[in-house]
Amino acid sequence: MFAALTRSLRLHGTWIGQALRPGQSAAPLTPRRVATLALGLPPYLTLQSLHWLGFALDEVLYPGYRRQRIEAPLFILGVPRSGTTFVHRTLAADPDRCTMRTWEALLAPSVSERKAWRALIAADARLGGWGRRGVDALSRRLLGQLDAIHETALEAAEEDYLALLPAGACFILALAFPHSAALWRLAALDRMGAPERELIVGFYRRMLQKQLYADGGQRRLLSKNAAFATWVEALAEAFPDARFLLCIREPEAALSSQLSAVAPGHSLLGTRPDRLYPEQFRRAYEQGYAHLRQAQRRYPERVRVLDMATLKQHAGSTLERLLAELALPAGPELQAALAAAESASRRYRSAHRHRPEHLDSPPMQADYECLLAQEGERLREAS
Question: Distance between CA 12 and CA 4 in Å, rounded?
Answer: 12
What is the pTM (predicted TM-score) of this model? 0.90
pLDDT at 361: 62
pLDDT at 213: 97
Render pLDDT for 104-138 as a digit per residue (tens, 0 to 9): 999 999 999 999 998 888 887 888 877 777 766 76
pLDDT at 334: 94
pLDDT at 326: 95
pLDDT at 352: 53
Decide yes or no: CATH 3.40.50.720 for domain 2-382.
no
Computed on alpha carbons and rounded to an integer, the radius of gyration of the chain in Å comes to 21
Q: If you write DSSP's letter for every residue of 186-217 in order, what string do you get?
A: GGGGGGS-HHHHHHHHHHHHHHHHHHHHHHTS
**Single-letter code of the amino acid located at 200:** I
- DSSP code, position 157: B
Question: Distance between CA 191 and CA 334 in Å, rounded?
Answer: 37
List all residues 6 or more positions away from 86 whose beta carbon is below 8 Å from its beta carbon: 311, 315, 341, 345, 348
Question: Distance between CA 377 and CA 50 in Å, rounded?
Answer: 50
pLDDT at 143: 55
pLDDT at 129: 75
List all residues 6 or more positions away from 318 whose beta carbon is below 8 Å from its beta carbon: 306, 310, 311
With beta carbons less than 8 A apart as the criterion, state whether 235 and 228 touch: yes
pLDDT at 246: 96
pLDDT at 360: 57
Question: Distance between CA 167 and CA 198 in Å, rounded?
Answer: 13
Render pLDDT for 298-317 as a digit per residue (tens, 0 to 9): 999 999 999 999 998 889 99
Residues constituting the chain: 383
pLDDT at 149: 42
* Sign, CA torsion 178/195/224/109: negative
pLDDT at 221: 97
- DSSP code, position 101: B
Could you tell me the residue ranges of all domains in the chain? 2-382
Render pLDDT for 273-289 as a digit per residue (tens, 0 to 9): 666 777 888 899 999 99
SS3 for 44?
A: helix
pLDDT (tens digit, 0 to 9) for every residue of the chain, 383 residues total?
A: 899 999 999 999 999 998 888 877 788 888 888 898 999 999 999 999 999 999 999 999 999 999 999 999 999 999 998 999 999 999 999 999 999 999 999 999 999 999 999 888 888 788 887 777 776 676 666 555 444 444 667 788 899 999 999 999 999 898 889 889 999 999 999 889 999 999 999 999 999 999 999 999 999 999 999 999 999 999 999 999 999 999 999 998 898 888 888 877 777 787 876 667 778 888 999 999 999 999 999 999 999 999 999 998 889 999 999 999 999 989 999 999 999 988 876 655 555 555 655 555 667 899 999 999 998 888 888 76
Residue closest to 16 by CA, chosen among 53, 59, 45: 45
**Single-letter code of the amino acid located at 303:** V
Question: Distance between CA 105 and CA 92 in Å, rounded?
Answer: 16
Q: If you write DSSP's letter for every residue of 106-137 in order, what string do you get?
A: HH--SHHHHHHHHHHHHHHHHTTSHHHHHHHH
Question: Distance between CA 24 and CA 47 in Å, rounded?
Answer: 27
pLDDT at 147: 47
Residue closest to 121 by CA, chosen among 133, 111, 110, 112: 133
CA 133 to chain CA mean position, Å: 27
Question: Distance between CA 302 and CA 261 in Å, rounded?
Answer: 31
